[in-house]
Every structure is written in C-alpha cells, then in structure tokens.
C-alpha cells in the first residue's frame, strides 16, 4: 500500500459540531475497534486533569467513560467492534474540583483496518509516548509514565529511532522531528552530566543532572549509553538534509560519538572486558563486567570497537564479550525442536534479542559462533513454544498469547523467561520478534489487540504487561518497552532502522576488524 494511502486512511477526520467551551482543538479519529481523541494542552498550574464524556448521538446523554481523572491530552476509547459512531466532549478538572464548560463536541466512527493499516496505527499510537510525552525541556524519554523529570538515556535512544520512523511513516513532519531531536542532542551535549563521555542511566530531563539508579550507580552507564548512541547514529544517517538544523544535528552527534571514551571503561590498560559502571564518588564499586553471557549488551562492544577516537581492541569482542573460553556464551542445544547456538537455556528474557538489534542488522552475517538473526529467531520460537506448553499452568498462555521478558508485574518490575515465569505476559516481547517470526508475531499482536484491548490498550498503545492469573493489567508504560515496538515493527516492514544504522561508515570497518563473515544469500 502506498504511503499516500496510509496517510489518507490515518488522517484525522474530526467533525466539530460546537465551537464554544474551554477545551481547544478537540479532535476524534476512528481506528480499528477504537476512537482516539486529542486536544490542546491547557496552560494553567491548577489543573488536575480531564474527564471524557461519550454519547451515542449529538443530542444523547453524555456519560463519563474515564474511571480516574485523565492527565494526558490524548485518550483512546477502545470500543471493541467496528462501524460504531460516537460523540465526545472533554471537561477540565481543577484542583478545587470545579468544572468549566466542556469544549466542542466531536464525532468519529470505528472502522476495520487492513493488516498494514493496523501496524501503522499501533506504531503511531506507541510513538506518542516519545513525541507527546517526551520531557518538555529536553525532549528526552521519561523513564515511565508518571516519572516526571526522571529520564532514561537508553530509552531516549530508542525514542530517537522511533521519531525517525514517525517521519518516514508520515506521522510527524520532518522539520518538527529534526528540531526536536536537535533540542535533545543539544541538551545531552551542553547540559547533561557525562563521565568520560558516558551518560548515566537516569538523568534529570530539566537540569541534566544524574539521578542515581541505585546506591553506587550514580555515574556513567556504558550499556545505556550504547543504546543512546545506537539511536543517535541511526538518526544521523537519516537526517542528511543541508539545512541548518539537520547539519547541526549531524555535527553534534558526531562530536558526542567522538567524546565517548569507551577505552576508559576497560578499567585496565590492557583489559579485554568492558565494565558497565563508573562513578566519580565510588569508582568501579559496582564491579559489573560486561560479557561472558549472551544478553542485551552486544551493541556495547560493537560500538566500542567502532569508535573513531577511543576504540577498544577488536579482540575484545571474543575475549571480553563472548569470553574465552565461552562457557557461558555458547549453547548449541535444542529446545522444542529449535537449535539455540548461543545464550542462556531457552534464551532468557526476549529483550536480549531486541535492544542490540534495533539498529544493528543481524541478517546475512555471522561471527564464529552463529548468525544472530537465526539465533534470535529460534529464541523467539522457543519462548513461544514454552508458553504454548505452559508448564506452570498459567491462565491464557497459548500459541497466540506468549512473550516473556522484563517488565512490570503485579509485584513490581522483574525479569520473566522460560526458567523464571510468574504468569506475566509483556506485549513488547512478542511484538518485537516481528522481524524474526513475522507471522507468529502479527497473529499475537492481533490477539492482544482484539482480545484484551479494552484493558490492555491506552493512549500510548499497548500497556506494559498483564497477568491473567491475577486478573491484572498494568496501567504503566516504560520507554524501554515502547520504543522497540515502533522500531522492530518498522524493521519488519521496511528495515529502516537497520538500513540507517548500518550505513554509518564505522560499522562495516568494525565488523571486518572483528572478523565477521557475510553469508551468501
């Protein structure tokens, strides 16, 4: 389907039937099984939020449909079926609970969407977490819904790529996206604290100061920085315009890339293993070496070796990342009939197969152990097969309801995997497997959407997780779970993030230095 047709289908079709009221710019837009509302933010300090009202006709009785005061200027009303027209109005709620007159009435109808249209709809809604909910000062990605000034460096890198996808899909104007990204990059360069060029895991999106992630983790976080740099290098290749904004954006990203002192994080002069954390107050107290097990950190070694100014030796890939001998890295066993070349038994949390591969394209290339596209594909199938087998007898698990990774749970944030499973399913896990196993992933996306959408869907797309044993559906959104959804759907659809990241001239040289081999088609 042409990009123009996608834009036509997804364009706002708001019908304003009343001009009076205090809520400005109210719009309604129909999607498959849902209607999305949006309106202009109110510039006042005493606003508690908004109440949303729905009726079956313009003259009908308007009933409040939000159970709690809604704090965003986007609302997604999941209807559950199509060809249904509804009418909406929004009221402002103030601290003293007084209500102003509602804004104008708008209407829209749900409409069936093709598979491609639904994927676009999911991407666009998920992107809103970064575009609409990005920090108002820096543009950085907030750690999670409600985290105020606490922003995430790694999640911001994912968000940068998601914004790029938004431009390509026509969700955002290119000039607006470039300006937002430049504001963020300026903030990262001019205000954000760095430690030998490395950013902290959490930082204040208003001041740039480090927010400690834990007692001793109050300095540089090399892994989160690698996720951020993966995002910046990807958008550097996309925004190649000769105008002042895109030129400055590329220049600043290149300078930040050069200023990351990857070699410092080897800790020792002749070290072969990178270390995750360094703190001005506590030094190497965290003592967390990276490598020896397959996890989300491959991109850290790849970028460290690719660095144009502070590279680590290429042999660190095998000696540090893989470990020599690679006892904890190599697997070679079969699970559910699928061979797993490297990684924990049955693969571990699925984000291991996502974070390093949002930009880095694992297709048609291999190190001396495996082709990582094939390995990640099989780990995805193993995760799915485990949920289908369902040895823990959890409610809902099936070939359509699967996906174990790290996410929120009824008891707090934790990791889920076939060896450690409490019944929590996380949409990002199965959806981000789409480049590896598209048929299975898309079937599961549709299942989540149509079966659980009234509880699992919100203004920023799929909520973080659900657990049917506990009849629990998260109200939360996390940057590190939302960003990969946009990027990995796009890598399935067009390979855009892969193409842009791999186009950086430093990447092929790095792969050659390590000794990666290119597979023949």
pLDDT tens by residue, 430-470: 999 999 999 999 999 999 999 999 999 999 999 999 999 99
The per-residue pLDDT for 41 is 87
- In degrees to the nearest 10, what's the CA dihedral of 13, 445, 181, 252? -150
Q: In the CATH hierarchy, which fold is given to the domain comprising 118-518?
A: Glycosyltransferase (1.50.10)
Of 451, 463, 450, residue with least CA distance to 33: 450
- What pLDDT digit, counting tens, does each position of 226-271 carry? 999 999 999 999 999 999 999 999 999 999 999 999 999 999 999 9
Query: What band does 521 get if pLDDT is binned at 50, 70 and 90?
Result: low
Residue range 149-165, pLDDT digits in tens: 999 999 999 999 999 99
Alpha carbon 393 to its chain's center: 30
CB atoms within 10 A of CB 263: 19
Looking at residue 8, what DSSP letter applies? H
Which of 8-12, 184-188, 275-279, 472-476 is least confident? 8-12
Average pLDDT score over the chain: 94
Residue 440 is predicted with a pLDDT of 98
Contacts of 23 (CB under 8 A, 6+ apart): 39, 40, 42, 50, 89, 90, 91, 92, 102, 103, 104
The two three-digit tokens of residue 337, written as one number: 């009939």
For residue range 293-341, what is the model confidence (pLDDT) as tens digits?
A: 999 999 999 999 999 999 999 999 999 999 989 999 999 999 999 999 9
pLDDT band at 31 (very low <50, low <70, confident <90, very high): very high
> What is the CATH T-level fold of the domain 13-111, as seen in this structure?
Immunoglobulin-like (2.60.40)
Higher confidence at residue 107 or residue 103? 107
Cα distance between residue 143 and residue 91, in whole Å: 29
Strand order, beta sheet including 47-55: 15-16, 106-109, 85-94, 47-55, 63-64
Q: Give yes or no for residue 5 having a pLDDT over 50.
A: no
Is pLDDT above 90 for 104?
no
Report the pLDDT value the prediction gives residue 519, as an integer from 0 to 100.
Answer: 83
Question: Of 100-109, 230-239, 396-405, which gets the smallest average pLDDT?
Answer: 100-109
| Residue 36: strand pairing partners | 29, 76
Which residue(s) pair with 424 in the sheet?
Answer: 467
Domain locations in the chain as residue ranges: 13-111, 118-518
């Amino acid at each position: 389907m042409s990009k123009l047709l996608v834009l036509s289908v997804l364009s706002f079709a708001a019908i304003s039937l009343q001009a009076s009221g205090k809520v400005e710019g109210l719009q309604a837009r129909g999607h498959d099984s849902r209607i999305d509302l949006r309106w202009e933010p109110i510039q006042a300090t005493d606003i508690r939020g908004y109440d949303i009202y729905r009726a079956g006709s313009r003259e009908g009785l308007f009933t409040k449909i939000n159970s709690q005061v809604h704090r965003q200027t986007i609302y997604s009303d999941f209807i559950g079926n199509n060809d249904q027209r509804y009418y909406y109005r929004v009221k402002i709620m103030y601290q003293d609970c007084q209500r102003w007159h509602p804004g104008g009435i708008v209407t829209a109808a749900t409409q069936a969407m093709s598979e491609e249209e639904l994927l676009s709809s999911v991407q666009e809604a998920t992107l809103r977490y970064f575009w609409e909910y990005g920090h108002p000062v820096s543009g950085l990605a907030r750690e999670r819904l409600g985290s105020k000034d606490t922003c995430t460096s790694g999640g911001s890198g994912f968000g940068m790529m998601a914004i790029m996808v938004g431009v390509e899909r026509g969700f955002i104007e290119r000039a607006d996206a470039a300006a937002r990204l430049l504001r963020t990059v300026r903030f990262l360069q001019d205000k954000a604290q760095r430690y030998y060029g490395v950013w902290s895991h959490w930082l204040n999106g208003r001041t740039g100061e480090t927010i400690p992630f834990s007692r001793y983790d109050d300095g540089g976080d090399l892994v989160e920085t690698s996720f951020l740099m993966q995002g910046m290098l990807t958008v550097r290749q996309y925004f190649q315009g000769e105008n002042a904004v895109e030129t400055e954006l590329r220049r600043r990203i290149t300078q930040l890339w050069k200023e990351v002192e990857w070699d410092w994080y080897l800790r020792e002069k002749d070290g072969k293993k990178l270390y995750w954390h360094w703190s001005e107050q506590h030094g190497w107290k965290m003592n967390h070496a990276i490598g020896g097990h397959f996890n989300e950190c491959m991109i850290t070694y790849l970028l460290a070796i690719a660095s144009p100014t502070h590279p680590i030796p290429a042999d660190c890939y095998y000696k540090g990342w893989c470990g020599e001998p690679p006892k904890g890295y190599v697997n070679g066993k079969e699970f559910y009939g699928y061979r797993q070349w490297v990684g924990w038994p049955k693969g571990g949390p699925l984000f291991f197969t996502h974070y390093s591969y949002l930009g880095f394209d694992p297709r048609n290339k291999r190190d001396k152990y495996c082709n990582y596209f094939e390995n990640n594909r099989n780990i995805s199938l193993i995760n799915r097969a485990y949920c289908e087998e369902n040895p823990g007898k959890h409610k809902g698990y099936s070939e359509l309801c699967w996906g174990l990774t790290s996410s929120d749970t009824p008891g707090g944030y934790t990791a889920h995997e076939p060896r450690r499973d409490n019944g929590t399913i996380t949409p990002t896990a199965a959806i981000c497997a789409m480049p590896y196993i598209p048929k299975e992933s898309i079937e599961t996306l549709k299942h989540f959407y149509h079966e659980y959408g009234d509880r699992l869907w919100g203004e920023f797309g799929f909520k973080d997780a659900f657990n049917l044993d506990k009849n629990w559906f998260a109200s939360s959104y996390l940057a590190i779970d939302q960003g990969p959804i946009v990027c990995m759907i796009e890598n399935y659809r067009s390979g855009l993030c892969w193409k842009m990241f791999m186009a950086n001239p430093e990447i092929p040289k790095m792969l050659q230095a390590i000794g990666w081999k290119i597979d023949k088609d």
